[in-house]
Amino acid sequence: MSDRPAETTREVLEDLTGHLPELTALYRDLHAHPEPSWREHRTAASVAARLAAAGFAVTEKVGGTGVVGVLRNGDGPVVLLRGDMDALPIAERTGLPYASTVPGVMHACGHDLHVTCLAGTAEALARRRALWSGTLMVVAQPAEEIGEGAQAMLADGLYGRFARPDVVLGQHVGPFPVGSIVHRPGLLMSASTTLDVRIPGTGGHGALPELCVDPVVTAAHLVTRLQTIVSRETAPSDAVVLTTGVLRAGTQANVIPDEAYLALNLRTQSAAARDRVLAAVRRIAEAECAAAGAPRPPEITVTGEFPLTLNDPGADAAVSAAHTGLFGAEAVIEHGPLMGSEDFPYFGMADHAGGAPIPSAFWFFGGTSAQAWERAPGETPEEKLRGIPGNHNSRFAPDGDTALPAGITALTAAALAHLA
């Protein structure tokens, strides 16, 4: 495979060092001002302003708070680059000088870095447009964390209003070392399903439990029994994760409540496994309520879903080859499938793309500095990762000084692997 994308990337980014101070300032500003899903107004405005200044035709409020920038640069393919914008409802504990100024909200998944890499790549390609041809379509997406943003932008006519891409590209930062790139053709990430379970009871005085049906006890039994779906009903070779992320009931110690509430998250790597686990959750929840003498069956509602992330082998191979030419063969790792989930695949799915599927490629790039990686306890990568706060942790803190140029390089190389 040709080394041309790597060579062109070096040419496009030869002046990146001079632009890094302003990009670092953007990253730190976004980190200090995180915005949760569907409220990414400030972030979207920052992205839109930078894209417009770089010469893109910019449209805001696509699918809510989404931003689309299109740069047409002669004949060639349409390449979509996607970055997500939303933050998480987590109180930051990193101690960074540019830590979140918004109480209870934090960029704990690196979307601030994703947006900055997206802007840096778009600006670099716009500055050096003589080195490539085609159409660059830059998408700053809202509401990834709740799995709604990609579908909302597509439902708002993303491809009909702008252009239908020939390839869709995206990336995600992780806690492994800066300079590392994780690729995998085919299945990269799992599907995710979120469930609400409402457990009915009969409330009353805490001193008179015999007159009540205590939904807290039922919920406690249910939480522990649900884990047997994985440990006793699932083959070890069939990757499944079932997590109870929320357990809520009651308002006072001496009051037995009328209801308990659970929020469950399920990760699977096949439709068959998902259907089997959902049926098991329903069976066990209904049985626990019946065993407790609950006044009615539980209410079980699917509230959110993420699809499988499936990399097109050809698109992924082209990107992986470009990354190998830039970062070295030892830095490009094939790993997975991972149990995390993304809504990125919607951009390439046939049902959403208006016809045949669109080839897509998604990869991970490292965010931990070499010094922090060396200081982490343990000898193996697995041991070190246990000592480094990862995504969705209140102490997650990618090293912007080194991860930012690596992320821009990775995304630029991926675009040039497909642009003419």
By annotation, the residues acting in catalysis are: 86, 144
Residue 247 DSSP SS3: strand
| Residues 179 and 278: beta-carbon distance below 8 Å | no
Q: In 328-369, which residue ranges form alpha helices assigned H by DSSP?
A: 350-353
Distance between CA 207 and CA 276 in Å, rounded?
Answer: 41
Greatest pairwise CA separation for the chain in angstroms: 80
Nearest to 173 by CA among 380, 21, 326, 399: 399
Nearest to 115 by CA among 92, 149, 89, 91: 149
β-bridge mates for residue 25, sequence order = none
Question: Which pair of tokens denotes residue 260?
Answer: 């308990």
Q: How far is CA 173 from the centre of its chain?
A: 9
Distance between CA 27 and CA 112 in Å, rounded?
Answer: 6
| Residues 212 and 201: beta-carbon distance below 8 Å | yes
198, 245, 303 from 178: Cα distances, Å: 43, 30, 36
Q: Which helix (H) or strand (E) holds 266?
A: strand 259-268
| φ/ψ (deg, to 5) at 102 | -105, 115
